[in-house]
């Protein structure tokens, strides 16, 4: 089962069908992966915020209307331009200590 989430208003929202926004997150239950798609034209601030929200879903999951909480403990895969961030910017400083 795959659930598509679209990124708008600084957070991910469940959508039916294909996402209408450029940044999207797909929750793939069969592979236990969160696939974050960030297009080349997205600003760095928008990319970082979307990736930070996706990492939050990776830790606590996403509450859906029909399927309950999904995505907790899944591996986050970043596709597109957003995957090119340096390692020091990918993790919160709090996770390092």
> Residue 44: which CATH number?
3.40.20
Q: Is residue 97 part of a domain?
A: no
CA gap 73, 79 in Å, rounded: 19
Q: Is residue 28 part of a domain?
A: yes
Q: Is residue 69 part of a domain?
A: yes
Q: Are 58 and 73 in contact (CB under 8 A)?
A: yes
Would you state the pLDDT for residue 36? 93
> Does residue 96 register a pLDDT over 70?
no
CA gap 56, 53 in Å, rounded: 5
Domain count across the chain: 1
Please give the residue range of the domain that contains residue 79. Answer: 2-92
Q: Is residue 42 part of a domain?
A: yes
Q: Is residue 71 part of a domain?
A: yes
Q: CA torsion sign, 7 to 8 to 12 to 13?
A: negative
Q: Is residue 12 part of a domain?
A: yes
CA gap 9, 1 in Å, rounded: 26
Angle at 91 between CA 85 and CA 96, to 5 degrees: 140
**50-90 confidence digits (pLDDT tens):** 999 999 999 999 998 888 899 999 999 988 765 556 667 66
Would you state the pLDDT for residue 20? 79
Q: What is the pTM of this model?
A: 0.77
């Amino acid at each position: 089962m795959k659930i598509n989430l679209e990124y708008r208003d600084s957070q991910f929202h469940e959508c039916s069908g294909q996402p209408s926004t450029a940044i999207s997150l797909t929750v793939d239950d069969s592979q236990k992966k969160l696939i974050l798609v960030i297009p080349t034209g997205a600003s760095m601030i928008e990319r970082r915020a979307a990736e930070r929200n996706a990492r939050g879903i990776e830790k606590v999951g996403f509450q859906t209307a029909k399927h309950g909480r999904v995505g907790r403990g899944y591996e986050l895969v970043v596709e597109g331009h957003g995957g090119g961030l340096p390692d020091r910017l990918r993790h919160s400083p709090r996770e390092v200590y």
